[in-house]
Structure 1
Amino acid sequence: MNHAARRLAALSAATLLPLAGLAVPASAAAIRVPPGAGSPALEKMRREVGADVPCWRNITIRSTANGRYVTTEIGWDGGDHGSLRARSTTAGPWERFTVCRDPESGVTRIRAQANGDFVSAELDNAGARYGLLRAQADKVGGWERYYSNSPPGEPFSFYARHTRRWVSAEVTFTGNQYGILRARATSVGAEETFVW
């Protein structure tokens, strides 16, 4: 059995039901959508990252360091608009993402569903804001490319290509900076481990 056949055999009911035109149970939080079967926004993302790359919609990301869901801070202004923070105890609209991941290379793109923007690692920031993850890009460039070590549905860590650093949830920060995501770690620990 080849790689593609094994992946097809492992698909969950939440993935197969939409293909058959059937309703998806409310408990299905993440759905892998095949090319041509998604929303216009999902199809646009797939065109930008490659037609054969699997994409998942309604993905939540939870930090193992504090057990909180990652939120897109679309209520913030200026250079902080769209910052990603592991701070929510529940998953609502601001905690949903579309993820496209090449299973061969691990190259991953993340788009916040709260504002429709791709997640960037902000390399022009300094100090405690260096490598800040923000949903602010309308297309995929170097700052929007990550490598992840597992597909949605499994624990993972992800690496920002341009910073050459692992993404951390800053659970030691306080105030509005608590749980902020930054591409700054050289090794993987609890702060660099997440659950899709």
Structure 2
Amino acid sequence: MRRTTSVLLSLSTLLAVSALAAPGVQAATPKADGPVAVPSGWEAVDGTELARIAGESEEPGAGRAPFAADGGVSTTAVEPELLSVRSARNGKFVATEASYPAPDTGVLRARSAQVGGGWEGFAFEWDEASQTYALRSLANNLYVAVEKNYTGSAQNALRARSATAGGWERFALYYNEGLDRWALQSTLNGKFVAMENGYTGSLQYALRARSAEITGSWEEFSLQGYGA
């Protein structure tokens, strides 16, 4: 009887040790949100490249603004480019809906036939430390955030509502030379920004960080110097 008990204990000890040593028994470490690989055919664009590509047809210094030291962006950032964003899907310029009531105040929509003022202007502020952009709306001087906690059709909507730029307000910028188009990827959820052409009502043409890849004109935009 004692021998049987000893064998069973030894077997239990061996199984316990084997389980601890076996691969995959520990819980997987969650991955941080953010951009993954650069999409095929596209190139990641930093602050210097944006100034060169977006400014090729402009006068020296056009579309640029002095750096605001208290704007929540690294002091190593280059001067921001003042740009207007146009959807390749519907040909409309992106505007900040500063007069929308809460909770959609400041939502971004591609709804303007032309650039009429600050509603369609954005400062693209490059941060060298994080290698990302923050977009500051010229309509209300607030940074564009991805509303990850929203639900339903408004989830991951882009909204100019933040006084400073943190993880919710960071984007990677890509350029496709062959198409001469641009794409934005949220570093908060790793999704590309799409224009919701099929939406109706107040969120029609709203911008949302919701695409796993660049599938076409829904996620493609053109940039031009603000006021150009």
Q: TM-score range by the shorter chain?
A: 0.7 to 0.9
Q: 1:187 to 1:122 in 2, by over 3 A?
A: same
Cα 1:172/1:55, change in 2 over 3 Å: farther
Where 1:187 maps in the other structure, the secondary structure is: coil
**Aligned-partner Cα distance in 2 for 1:73–1:52:** 31
Match of 2:24 in 1: none
Q: Shift of residue 32 of structure 1?
A: 3.0
Counterparts of 1:103 and 1:78 in 2: how far apart (Å)?
33
The corresponding residue for 1:147 is: 172
Q: Distance in 2 between matches of 1:162 and 1:5?
A: 23
Alignment of 1:193 with 2:224, yes or no, is: no
Q: Which residue does 2:132 correspond to in 1?
A: 107
Gap regions ≥5 residues in structure 2: 1-46, 224-228
CA gap of 1:55–1:191, structure 2 versus 1, over 3 A, is farther
Q: CA deviation at 1:165?
A: 0.5
Return closer, same or farther for 1:142/1:103 CA change in 2, 3 Å cut-off. closer
Pick one of 199, 204, 208 that aligns with 1:182: 208
- Higher relative contact order (CA closer than 8 Å, sequence separation 6+): 2
Query: What is the TM-score when the length of structure 1 is the normalising length?
Result: 0.76
The number of aligned residues is 171
Report the Cα distance in structure 1 between the residues aligned to 2:79 and 2:52, rounded to whole angstroms: 17
Cα distance change, pair 106–148 in 1 and its aligned pair in 2 (3 A): farther
Normalising by structure 2, report the TM-score.
Answer: 0.66
Residue in structure 2 matching 1:118, options 104, 119, 143 = 143
The code of the aligned residue for 2:217 comes to A
Q: Is the 8 A contact 1:119 1:137 kept in 2?
A: yes
Structure 1 runs (4+) greater than 4 angstroms displaced: 4-15, 102-106
Classify 1:172/1:106 alpha carbon distance in 2 versus 1 (closer, same or farther; 3 Å): farther
Root-mean-square deviation over aligned CA pairs: 2.9
**Residues 55, 125 of structure 1: CA spacing in aligned structure 2 closer, same or farther, 3 A cutoff?**
same
Runs of 5+ unmatched residues, structure 1: 19-29
SS class of match (1:143):
helix
Give the equivalent residue in structure 1 for 2:85. Answer: 61
Distance 1:104 1:143, change over 3 A: closer
Q: Residue 83 of structure 1 aligns with which residue?
A: 107
Judged with a 3 Å threshold, the aligned counterparts in structure 2 of structure 1 residues 7 and 123 are, in CA distance, closer, same or farther, namely closer
* Shift in CA distance, 177/106, structure 1 to aligned 2, threshold 3 Å: same
Q: Secondary structure at the match of 2:72?
A: helix
Q: Match for residue 75 of structure 2?
A: 51
Aligned to 1:168: 194
Once the 2 structures are TM-superposed, how far is the Cα of residue 110 of structure 1 from its aligned partner?
A: 0.1
Select the structure of larger CA radius of gyration: 2
Q: In structure 1, what is the equivalent of residue 182 of structure 2?
A: 156
Whole-angstrom distance in 2 between the partners of 1:127 and 1:192:
20
**C-alpha separation in 2, matches of 1:131 and 1:5:** 28
Q: CA deviation at 1:5?
A: 9.9
Distance 1:58 1:107 in 2: 16
Assess, with a 3 A threshold, how the Cα gap between structure 1 residues 73 and 51 changes in structure 2: closer, same or farther.
same
Contact 2:73 / 2:127 at 8 angstroms: preserved in 1? no
Pairwise CA distance, 1:44 = 3.3
